[in-house]
Structure 1
Amino acid sequence: GSDLASVRTKAVREGDGWRVNGTKLWTTNATHCQFMILFCRTGPLDREHRHAGTSQFIVDLSLPGITIRPVRNLVGEHHFNEVVFEDAVLPEDALLGREGEGWAQVTGELAYERSGPERFLSSFWLLVELVRALQPAADARAEIALGRLGAQLITLRRMSRSVAGLLQAGADPALEAAMVKDLGALVEQEIPEIARDLMAEGPPTLQSRTFAQVLAYTTLHAPSFSLRGGTREILRGIIARGLGLR
């Protein structure tokens, strides 16, 4: 979930390995994978330093004690899964890095997840179909709206590339990545609303029927855009701390 430091899945040293118990929800494409990265608690919870005592493991999903359960979304599709660990025993070398370094590792990984183009292009297919449906008679209002969306996407692309450059240089762009994710989700969720408004009137055409299908699909997915990779509230907390506002 968004409060990653409250993780309750535990890995306890046992002989030459680790015994794991707990549940990992929202694991994308787990049914198609042979391995996954597990973030869990390997030390006691210190409420004053909740990030301490966490580690990461590379888990072979074929091991006994691991069950994968599908989670279907609002559209009826199956991307997400719940992975349940019931006395699953991992070998010693499954530990990623050193014990207790999980938080530093996962925050670095989140910068990659939050700043990639998939965090602001989820509604791009709808934008393309909107342009096709409006042609060749787009009015001034439509041209202004499309121009603004285009400018926002170009800006987000440049921000995303800047974060990639910081990562390549070995920096920790947690603040910058959170900004890309937050602003990108706003644009992704705005596109269906603008599209619906611009196409509210006019006779149906082949292009507009295709547009309507893509609009329905995107509208059903849009609520998840501000949840995946960290909720809007979590991201804005990171941004506020990074700017010295809290």
Structure 2
Amino acid sequence: MVNSFDALSAREPELVKLRSAVRDFLVSDRAEFGWQPGVDSWLAGWDEEFSARLGAAGFVGLTIPQRYGGHGLGHLHRYVVTEELIAAGAPVAAHWTADRQVAPGLLTYGNQEQRERLLPKIVAGQLYSSIGMSEHGAGSDLAAVQTKAVRADGGWLLSGSKVWTSGAHLAHQVVVLARTSPPDPEHRHAGFSQFLVPCDAEGVRIEPIILMSGAHHFNEVLFDQVFVPDADVLGEVGNGWHQVTSELSFERSGPERILSTGPLLFAAIRALSRGPEPDDRTAADIGDLMARLISLRQLSLSVARTLTDGGDAANQAALVKDLGTRFEAESVGLIADLLEAVTPDSELTPMLRTAWLHKPMFTLRGGTNEVLRGVIARGMGLR
């Protein structure tokens, strides 16, 4: 019998065993291959060989049924693995979106051919997917999407553009949300569909969006009369909005929404522990950061349990994303202040630099926090 505290800590014996196995893998893999922990590693840490090794070790595709090569486990198992990977700053970006969002979408809405073709590659850590949702003028308000697909012989012709498309320049495919029927002002969320579009398809052009640091994670993806066969429609035509909002529960509530700066925080605490005993102010600041992180983790775990039980967690996921990404952004300055008393080292310096550069993105991606508060209010019947 799991008590309420254990339920908020993911301490069931099988989860404890899985957590230990992931930690052992990370220690040995880092020792052999030399990757360095990174802040925001699920966006910035693109390492295809690591993703393949992780898949071979059995830590990708945990929720995918065994008939597709997966492990047939639950969302809590995936949560435990995800948490350990992000906390360690492991380079997981290559397979991240495919495992987090595409796999649940295929299992819920995909056809049998799509599942048999794509799910085994996801399990192997060898499918790299991007998500085409946001557009110029349609960031968090996806109902304003202008990209459209019109009927053609045997499929659809897709035209428009997507922006802030993470990893598209390296991905095999982009999952595109497009309008497939004329806008209806009375039903803004009607008439959308999703398409699986190869990044090398004729008519697809990918333009880089370079960060101030010179890093390349984001892209603008342009579609010029791209032919998409009926076989590559994901789910039902016209059901795209429902599919996307269901998918966002997985995107918004995971450990990556509270632990992007975790490797920096943990490294800072280790560095402080090697110095003089901290004064009361320093100890209080560390305690505050850790207390907030633990509380957010328990909220995030509660969403994972709801998803495990087949429940709708869209509102709770939006709340976790709002609180979690605010914590991530605020933690950067607090950690920087704590580190003023510490001699910079080769581990802390690059992580702190990355954290400062990525800080403005934390509360934007996955839906701005301002828009999410409207989602939460509507979910509570307040507007």
TM-score scaled to structure 2, two decimals?
0.61
Query: What does residue 352 of structure 2 align with?
Result: 215
Gaps of 5+ in 1: none
1:47-86 aligned at under 5 Å gives the runs: 47-86=185-224
Query: What does residue 192 of structure 1 align with?
Result: 332
Task: Give the Cα–Cα distance (whole angstroms) in 1 for the partners of residues 151 and 302 of structure 2.
Answer: 41
Residue 355 (structure 2) pairs with residue 227 (structure 1): no
Instruction: After superposition, give the CA deviation of every residue in 1:84-132 in whole Å (9 maximum; x if it has no partner).
Output: 1001111111111111100000000000000011111111122123213
Gaps of 5+ in 2: 1-138
Residue 299 (structure 2) pairs with residue 159 (structure 1): yes
1:1-246 aligned at under 5 Å gives the runs: 1-135=139-273, 136-137=275-276, 138-200=278-340, 202=341, 205-207=343-345, 210-246=347-383
Secondary structure of 2:375's aligned partner: helix
Task: Give the Cα–Cα distance (whole angstroms) in 1 for the partners of residues 288 and 219 of structure 2.
Answer: 37
- Structure 1 counterpart of 2:256, which letter? E
Range that drifts further, 212-221 or 104-113: 212-221
Per-residue deviation, 1:168? 2.1
- Structure 2 counterpart of 1:223, which letter? P
Instruction: After superposition, give the CA deviation of every residue in 1:159-190 in whole Å (9 maximum; x if it has no partner).
Output: 11211121222222111001110010111011
Task: Give the Cα–Cα distance (whole angstroms) in 2 for the partners of residues 10 and 213 of structure 1.
Answer: 42
Task: Give the Cα–Cα distance (whole angstroms) in 1 for the partners of residues 335 and 168 of structure 2.
Answer: 34
Per-residue deviation, 1:196? 2.7
- Structure 1 counterpart of 2:357, which letter? L
Range that drifts further, 161-170 or 211-220: 211-220
Identical-residue share of aligned pairs (%): 49
Per-residue deviation, 1:134? 2.1
Secondary structure of 1:109's aligned partner: helix
Is the CA contact (8 Å cut-off) linking 1:163 and 1:173 kept in structure 2? Answer: yes
- Structure 1 counterpart of 2:330, which letter? E
Matched positions, count? 243
Secondary structure of 1:233's aligned partner: helix
Task: Give the Cα–Cα distance (whole angstroms) in 2 for the partners of residues 242 and 101 of structure 1.
Answer: 20
Is the CA contact (8 Å cut-off) linking 1:129 and 1:214 kept in structure 2? Answer: no
Q: Superposition RMSD on alpha carbons, in Å?
A: 1.6
Secondary structure of 2:319's aligned partner: helix
Task: Give the Cα–Cα distance (whole angstroms) in 1 for the partners of residues 182 and 251 of structure 2.
Answer: 28
Moved over 3 A (4+): 209-213
TM-score scaled to structure 1, two decimals?
0.93
Task: Give the Cα–Cα distance (whole angstroms) in 2 for the partners of residues 174 and 206 of structure 1.
Answer: 41
Query: What does residue 53 of structure 2 align with?
Result: none
Task: Give the Cα–Cα distance (whole angstroms) in 2 for the partners of residues 235 and 195 of structure 1.
Answer: 26
Per-residue deviation, 1:33? 1.5
- Structure 2 counterpart of 1:152, which letter? R
Greater relative CO, 1 or 2 (CA 8 Å, sep 6+): 1
Instruction: After superposition, give the CA deviation of every residue in 1:180-221 in whole Å (9 maximum; x if it has no partner).
Output: 100101110111121233344x4x6254x7534432321111
Secondary structure of 2:181's aligned partner: coil
